[in-house]
Amino acid sequence: MMSSPLGQHLRWAKLGSGMMRTIIIAVLVVFLLFPVIWLVTTSFKERIDVFQLPPQWIFQPTMSNFEYVFDKKPIEMWTLNSLIISVGTTILSLLLGVPAAYTLARRKFRGKSLLITSILLIRALPPVVILIPFRVLMNSVGLIGTHTAVILIDTIYNAAFTVWLMVGYFEAMPVEIEEAACVDGCSYFRTFRAIALPLATPGLVTAALFSLILSWNDFLFALSLTSPPSATLPLGILSTFGMLSVGWTYMTSMCTIAILPLLLIALFLQKYYVQGLTFGGVK
């Protein structure tokens, strides 16, 4: 039996709607990835090719920019400093934020919502608001110019975000499992360690990844609180800006080096990351 004209029209409309969504998504992806594509391609160009109009998308790639960066710049030291600060901040943020979030999610008391909102407002504070007082404090205790100073101030912001994200995640978890563990004789701490934390793995990965990215990309705190031996990779990128010119190819090469580790980590943890976002604080 031949299908009716109305059925054919609906099928064509559905097909057209699907194609339109695909086209829109493709355009958005290209639009969002264009700065990254420009950055990476520029890092493989000669300096004279950067200023050609119209831009050349097909060119002979060169590794001279990366060779110059590794030969003339202490890129290994900057990367190691960024790694120390990012990992230290992430660990400290999780150690402080996750137990606090679990307690806020499982305990009921007056002013709980106000306390959670106040913690989130810490993350909304402009960094410059606490930068000067914190610098004075770190100078008075002799920590200015060290990794510890940056780790502490980054933890203030990242732990607040961790608390907000993990409170929503723990509240969405079924409490009956933990109650059954308590009936079996588990203590409060053992229930948290053996039951809640394994179930919250996607949320923990999401919080850790956010903390790692935010501290890895930090520029203002690192600029104000570090010294040349403890300078991070974002500060190293700043060194490509001279008084008379800007080393665009060297800058893009260092930016490519900076985004590569986080890109690989995000791709590797993508499953947990997406699940943690949809099940946790955003939900």
Q: What is the pLDDT of residue 96?
A: 92
Q: How far apart are CA 164 and CA 96, in angstroms?
A: 12
Q: Which has more confidence, 35 or 8? A: 35
What's the pLDDT at 38? Answer: 87
Q: Which residue has the higher pLDDT, 280 or 35?
A: 35
Which class for 146: exposed (0-12), middle (13-18), buried (19 or more C-beta within 10 A)?
A: middle
pLDDT in tens, 236-279: 888 877 655 677 888 888 999 999 888 888 888 776 655 555 55
Q: What pLDDT band is residue 124 in, cutting at 50, 70 and 90?
A: confident
**What confidence score (pLDDT) does residue 86 get?**
94
Query: For 96-117, what is each residue's pLDDT tens digit?
Result: 999 999 888 888 878 778 888 8
Mean pLDDT for 156-174 is 86
> Tell me: domain 71-279, CATH 1.10.3720.10, correct?
yes
pLDDT at residue 188 above 90?
Answer: no
Residue 62 per-residue DSSP state: -
Average pLDDT over residues 202-224: 89
Each residue of 57-84: pLDDT tens digit? Answer: 777 888 888 988 888 889 899 999 999 9
Residue 281 pLDDT exceeds 60: no
Where do the structural domains in the chain lie, given as residue ranges? 5-64, 71-279
pLDDT of residue 109: 79
Could you tell me which residues come within 8 angstroms of residue 176 by beta carbon, excluding any fewer than 6 positions away? none
Confidence of residue 10 (pLDDT cuts 50, 70, 90): low
Q: What is the pTM of this model?
A: 0.82
Residue 10, Cα to own-chain centre: how many angstroms?
43
Is 21 or 151 the better-scoring residue by pLDDT?
A: 151
The average confidence (pLDDT) of the chain is 82
The first and second tokens of residue 7, run together, are 């059925």
Residues 6+ apart with CB under 8 A from 272: 201, 202, 205, 206
Question: Regarding predicted confidence, which is higher, 279 or 218?
Answer: 218
Structure confidence at residue 149 as a pLDDT band (50, 70, 90): very high
Residue 1's pLDDT is 44
- As a whole number, mean pLDDT of residues 165-188 equals 80
